[in-house]
Amino acid sequence: MTGRGDGPADLDRERRIRRELAELRRLIEGNPRLAERTAAMLRGDLEAPGLEEPKMNGAEEQVSIRVPEGTQARAEALVPALNEAPEFKVLRCTKSAILRLAILRGLEALEAEHLPGGRRRG
């Protein structure tokens, strides 16, 4: 058995890949939404506007804010966890992306709580 044709296969690597594929199969079997998102990711069609880096064409606004002490550390601590979470694993979560997502989710929660008709965007 050979790896990429250039020598013996790395059995530990092969086993790890098989374990990861088995885990992915297990996760998507019971979750049609995750299966759909995984298929989209494999096609290169997955959109994640809440986690994408901002466009630098003026379409996005840059805002500087002060955050309570410890907020950046909390976001930084989430990086490894979100990078391992099935729904985020295909993306490269950064502290900035996590803070943007937190702002978006917080706004959605406030809109649902305080605006007539619940969730509002934009």
pLDDT of residue 77: 94
Q: Which runs of consecutive H residues, i.e. helices, occur in the chain?
A: 11-29, 32-43, 71-84, 95-114
- Ordered by start, the domain boundaries in the chain are 8-47, 63-122
Q: What is the average pLDDT across 37-59?
A: 66
**Alpha-carbon span 3 to 14, nearest angstrom:** 9
Q: What is the average pLDDT across 45-54?
A: 62
pLDDT bucket at 62, cuts 50 / 70 / 90: confident
pLDDT of residue 2: 47
Which has the higher per-residue pLDDT, 40 or 7? 40
pTM greater than 0.85 (yes/no) = no
Displacement of CA 93 from its chain's centroid (Å): 6
Which burial class, exposed, middle or buried, applies to 34 when counting CB atoms under 10 A from its CB (0-12, 13-18, 19+)?
middle
